[in-house]
């Protein structure tokens, strides 16, 4: 037991130092250099092309969005403006533009005969298959068809967006002072910074079927992306706009296709009878989403990424050692050269050699005196 404990202690109290073995092999050398070159190229490209390896990012943006729609159209021979077809007038970052509105005028607290509509009173006619229900009379009739407002594609949407990056205390607006919002229309090529969008242009970019959209309604996403490098002039921190078809997954659905909603207006006659006008609106809903990232030089990510790159270069050595010591012919010889045990007895024997003693520290035939690296040649 004592000898086992002493052996464990001796094994633990040892020191290992690296030994360089120069292997002149085309295959291993090419693999080593290729791996190192790939790692260096990736790091250099990451730093200089994307400019993110040495920057600290702020993604917790504060954003405000206001939308305004302008345009005139005709619905059932009635001229409609913003107050008629935008509902509700202001709701966060969403705007609903009604293209077709069905109106149903009904009395309150009336009993009518319907097929499973309203609150059933229990009075039924089994011969015709109808039951009496209490509610607004007459009830909504989905068979009513109305021609949608065709002019909606020429309406314009003005989006006023301001953001703030709290980490750097930088505030930006989505239109430069050189642009007059009332005199421009957004074009992603010639006028990409203008915040006034024509509805028809948005639909073309989202590949919406305009006719079907006007009849059934739909949902469109307007994405505003701020990608800012604050090491440059803050005036170069500008938004990019893109558009998304949010209701695309439901295009082939037979239930609840498109987008519609209901709202009612109530009034009373002189004799106290209460009426309401129910509106069922098929609309285009625009959802505005704002995302952003601001980056600026920071010493900590720079040091971390540089050290990670330098460490990764050593992966070439690890891979080549695996091939060299396990896969190539003569792997055992490589192991014997790479790993060599030297005891204190050998050191003492080499310093004070005795006649006939065979204990000595041998060096290879081809050595580099400045580094101690042993050179091994292989057939090319």
Tell me the per-residue pLDDT of 289-333, one tens digit each, with 9 for 90 and over.
999 999 887 777 777 777 777 777 666 677 777 777 777 777 777
Say if residue 173 is in the same domain as residue 319: no
Shared domain for 98 and 185, answered yes or no, is yes
One domain for residues 48 and 188 = no
Instruction: Give the global pTM.
Output: 0.64
Q: Are 193 and 177 in contact (CB under 8 A)?
A: no
Task: Indicate whether 202 belongs to any domain.
Answer: yes
- Cα(364)–Cα(169) distance, rounded to whole angstroms? 65
191, 305: one domain: no
Domain interval for residue 249: 57-111+124-296
Q: Which residues contact 39 (CB under 8 A, 6 or more apart)?
A: 309, 312, 313, 315, 316
The total of structural domains in the chain comes to 2
Same domain, 266 and 285: yes
Per-residue pLDDT of the chain (380 residues; tens, 9 = 90+): 667 777 777 777 776 666 666 777 777 778 777 877 777 777 666 655 555 556 677 888 899 898 888 888 888 788 888 888 887 665 545 666 676 665 656 656 555 555 446 677 778 877 777 777 777 777 777 777 778 888 888 999 999 999 999 988 999 998 877 777 677 899 888 888 899 999 999 988 888 788 888 888 888 999 999 999 888 888 889 999 999 988 888 877 777 788 888 888 888 888 888 888 888 888 888 899 999 999 887 777 777 777 777 777 666 677 777 777 777 777 777 777 777 766 667 667 777 655 555 544 444 444 333 444 444 444 44
Give the pLDDT confidence score for residue 373 in this predicted structure: 46
Measured CA to CA, the distance from residue 97 to residue 152 in angstroms comes to 8
Which residues lie across from 57 on neighbouring strands?
Answer: 295
pLDDT digits (tens, 9 = 90+) for 89-100: 655 456 666 766
Contact 223, 202 (CB under 8 A): no
Find the largest Cα–Cα distance for the chain: 135
> What is the rounded CA–CA span in Å between residue 113 and residue 121?
10
CB distance 140 to 114 below 8 Å: no
**The pLDDT of residue 241:** 95
């Amino acid at each position: 037991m004592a000898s086992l404990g002493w052996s464990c202690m001796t094994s633990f109290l040892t020191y290992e130092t690296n030994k360089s073995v120069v292997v002149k092999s085309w295959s291993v050398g090419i693999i080593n250099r290729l791996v190192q070159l790939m790692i260096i190229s990736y790091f250099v490209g990451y730093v200089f092309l994307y400019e993110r390896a040495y920057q600290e990012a702020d993604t917790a943006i504060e954003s405000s969005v206001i939308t305004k729609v302008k345009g005139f159209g005709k619905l059932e021979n009635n001229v409609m403006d913003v107050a008629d077809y935008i509902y509700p007038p202001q709701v966060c970052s969403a705007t609903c533009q009604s293209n077709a509105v069905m109106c149903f005028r009904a009395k309150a607290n009336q009993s009518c005969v319907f097929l499973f509509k309203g609150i059933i009173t229990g009075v039924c006619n089994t011969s015709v298959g109808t039951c009496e229900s209490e509610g607004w009379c007459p009830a909504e009739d989905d068979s009513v068809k109305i021609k949608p407002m065709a002019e909606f594609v020429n309406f314009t949407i003005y989006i006023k967006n301001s953001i703030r990056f709290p980490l750097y205390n930088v505030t930006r607006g989505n239109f430069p002072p050189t642009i007059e919002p009332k005199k421009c229309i957004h074009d992603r090529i010639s006028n990409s910074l203008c915040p006034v969008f024509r509805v028809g242009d948005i639909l073309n970019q989202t590949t919406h079927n305009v006719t079907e959209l006007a009849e059934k309604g739909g949902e469109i996403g307007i994405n505003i992306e701020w990608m800012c490098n604050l090491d440059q002039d803050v005036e170069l921190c500008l938004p990019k706009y893109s558009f998304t078809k949010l209701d695309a997954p439901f295009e082939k659905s037979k239930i609840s296709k498109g987008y519609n909603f209901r709202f009612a207006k109530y009034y009373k006659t002189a004799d106290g009878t209460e009426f309401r006008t129910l509106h069922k609106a098929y609309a285009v809903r625009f959802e505005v989403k704002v995302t952003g990232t601001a980056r600026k030089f920071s010493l900590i990510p720079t040091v971390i990424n540089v050290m990670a790159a330098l460490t990764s270069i050593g992966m070439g050595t690890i891979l080549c050692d695996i091939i060299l010591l396990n896969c190539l012919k003569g792997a055992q010889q490589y192991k014997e050269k790479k790993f060599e045990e030297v005891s204190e007895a050998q050191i003492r024997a080499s310093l004070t050699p005795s006649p006939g003693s065979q204990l000595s520290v041998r060096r290879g035939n081809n050595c580099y005196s400045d580094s101690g690296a042993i050179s091994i040649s292989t057939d090319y």
